[in-house]
Chain A
Amino acid sequence: MGWTGKILRINLSTGTIATEALNMDWADKYLGQRGLASKYLVEEVDPRADPLGPDNKMIMATGPLTGTCASTGGRYSIITKGPLTGAIACSNSGGYFGAELKFAGWDMVIFEGQSPKPVYVTIFDGDVQIRDASGYWGKTVWDTDKGIKAAHQDPQIRVAAIGVAGENEILYACVVNDLHRAAGRSGVGAVMGSKNLKAVAVRGTGGVKVRDFKTFMDATNAGKKVLKENAVTGEGLPAYGTQVLMNVINETGALPTRNGQDVQFESANDISAEAMATPRRSDGKPNLLTNQACFGCTIACGRISKIDETHFTIQNKPEYWHASGGLEYEAAWALGSATGINDLEALTYVNFICNEQAIDPISFGATVGAAMELYETGVIDDAVTGGIKLNFGSAEALVACVEATGKAEGFGKELGLGSKRLTEKYGKPELSMTVKGQEFPAYDPRGIQGMGLTYATSNRGACHLRSYTVSSEILGIPEKTDPLTTDGKAGLVKAFQDATAAVDSSGLCVFTTFAWTLEDIAPQVDAACEGNWTVDKMLEAGERIWNMERMFNNNAGFTAEDDNLPKRLLKDAAKTGPAKGLVAGLDKMLPEYYELRGWTPDGVPTSETVARLAL
């Protein structure tokens, strides 16, 4: 148990809805969520399919612990072939939607085909219907969420929706559930938009059964005790959120600034967790109102913010005077440091719009940073930007950009291409800070060497959450390693990748791993699920999942040449900080990584590796 054993298959081309039994042989090898849904995708989708065409599929998947009382057991993921990258995409979200889907009785929902007209899907326990969404098309996520709840007269419905950006296939459109929790990366919202699927609304009244209730309660209670007593998960994250990293990463000289031209931002403190908690001069109130937890979470790292009503962004827009999802570190970095902007209130407003229109703030902010460099070097001008003065540091320009991109209007359509396509269009591909077409996040590999290998080898394009070696290299969790050396990083990255793939497949949040190891997680999974889930079995599943994703990408046309970093990181040394004089030493790590993975020098899993992992 843990799994409900049932999946929904909804063909949007034909309007048919089918119920299937979950493939339990696959569940035993891939656990759930990221791993298990990726297995379905790999088996059913041609790796060379057009991500925005009818042959791609989009899977909303829970893990076996989703909807249970395990701490953070509320996660779900969207698995598809990503349009930003052309690689396999898996975007993970919190909030309450995932648990509600499980309560309705479903492990996952597979969306196939393309609807001829805008629709939304309601899943009310076993009652599943495809409904006309013409009244919601063109509306924001927030209006759609409100409208669906009102139409069905149930405020407890949980809605995952796209905004106007996803409808118009902005390539980093995301899917937002519960107003400000996002399956954020790789453009999964554009896939949803390509299917003419505006929203999925879920209401479940069932529960989740576990294999051994007494053992499960003991294991989950023990896990919660560890989280509570750990200084990071018990104190640091609830109080300061992920945003506490802004000053940390800046001090360590690894904060990508102004499109990666610098590694330290002189105004980092202005957009930090500390600044969010400091009363404003204008109204005497802090930007941060409170923290918030997702379903079942005992950490509660989420930020809830309220913008100064007199700030230029909202002074005439009372519809934004309410509290909503505040800045997390990645968003604050992309919207602020990557663009050189130090206006905390403006960044919070732009983050609101990213949630309201469902666009990934990491890719959006990083793309604006690249566009600013194009503008300041004279490659593009006001005629291209539609009059936006796109200088680094301009909050007004960022605001104009997010409003245009959210609505897919004017220059926003070009920004919606992502920085790779945008810079290629204007003949400056070297200004794109991407791997496999996806913008890299808030850690400069010149100052944190392991993150260079992390970005280069991530199966969904540049990403920090596939192997968060920052934990070890900077924060000392589980043990401190030197961020400036490449020695030992191949093994570190592989270990993080495999363990994270397992956690991402369980229904739990990866932030638990600041306190938990798989020694804490495996007993919770095992008490919920059949299959004798030991630490070793979870690690093997994680390694299997990683290789399966890799093989999908190889079959999609990716090669070892795509395991690379932007030239700026490989050729231009860091100018300041501890990494001054250093470039990213990818060439020193990649061959060892391939060898540890059991791959050929060309980055292909050997037949022995494929056999060992029963792929």
Chain B
Amino acid sequence: MKVTLKLFASLSSFLPREAQRNKVDLDVAEGTTIQSLLDHHKVPREKCHLVLVNGVFHAPEERETVALKDSDVLAVWPPVAGG
């Protein structure tokens, strides 16, 4: 299935080379969880503060178990804020 991975701010450097504008489309196996995809791309767990799937936040304790679905968009930020 296909999912989109978006990494922002200081996490941008963990995107594969073919990524453009902070995102990359990926083919992943069924059952791939949020955490397994982030681990595959070596995104440090302690830096994954804001983790959204299709814009909806997932707490750290959910990331090991929530499986991504076809066409999902996983977007991740380190601790950031603004105003």
A269 within 8 A of B: yes
- Residues from 44 to 83 in B contacting A, C-beta threshold 8 Å: 49-50, 52, 54-57, 59, 73, 75, 77-83
Residues of B contacting A251 with CB < 8 Å?
A: 6, 52, 55, 73, 75
**Min C-beta distance of B11 to chain A, whole Å:** 10
Count A interface residues, CB 8 Å: 40
Judge whether A470 is part of the interface by a CB distance below 8 angstroms.
yes
A177 at the interface (CB under 8 A from B): no
By beta carbon, the residue of chain B nearest A464 is B83
Knowing A329-B83, A465-B83, A514-B81, the reply to whether A235 touches B50 (Cβ < 8 A) is: no
**Known contacts A251-B6, A251-B75, A274-B8, A511 near B80 by CB under 8 Å:** no
Chain B interface size band reads 20 to 34
- A273–B21 Cα distance when bound, in Å, is 12
B50 to chain A, nearest CB (A): 7
When distances are taken between beta carbons in the complex, the residues of chain A under 8 Å from B32 are: none
Interface residues in B11-36 (C-beta closer than 8 Å to A): 12, 21-22
Smallest CB separation, B8 vs chain A (Å): 5
**Are A245 and B8 in contact, CB atoms less than 8 angstroms apart?**
no
Which of chain A's residues has its CB closest to B12's CB? Answer: A274
- Given A475-B80, A475-B81, also A235-B10 (CB < 8 A): yes
In the complex, whether A242 has a CB less than 8 A from a CB of chain B is yes
Residue of B nearest to A230 (CB): B79
Residue of A nearest to B56 (CB): A578
Is A518 an interface position by the 8 A CB rule? no
Provide the bound-state CA to CA distance between A233 and B50, in Å. 16
Bound Cα distance A252, B68 (Å): 17
Would you call A244 and B49 a contact (CB within 8 A)?
no
User: Beta-carbon contacts of A411-448 to B below 8 Å, as 1s and 0s?
Assistant: 00000000000000000000000000000000000000
CB proximity of A272 to chain B, nearest CB, Å: 8
Please name all residues of chain B whose beta carbon is closer than 8 Å to the beta carbon of A274 when the two chains form the complex: 8-9, 12, 21-22
| Cα distance, A53 to B70, chains bound together (Å) | 62
Q: Enumerate chain A residues within 8 angstroms of B77, measured Cβ to Cβ.
A: 244, 247-248
Task: Say whether A245 contacts B57, CB under 8 Å.
Answer: no
Please tell me if the beta carbons of B83 and A244 are within 8 angstroms of each other in the complex: no
Q: Interface residues, chain B, CB within 8 Å of chain A?
A: 6, 8-10, 12, 21-22, 49-50, 52, 54-57, 59, 73, 75, 77-83
Q: What are 8 A-B residue pairs whose CB atoms fall within 8 Å in the complex?
A: A236-B81, A237-B81, A239-B9, A239-B10, A248-B50, A253-B55, A274-B21, A475-B80
A residues neighboring B (CB under 8 Å): 230-233, 235-237, 239-245, 247-248, 251-253, 269, 273-274, 328-330, 464-465, 468, 470-471, 474-477, 480, 510-511, 514, 577-578
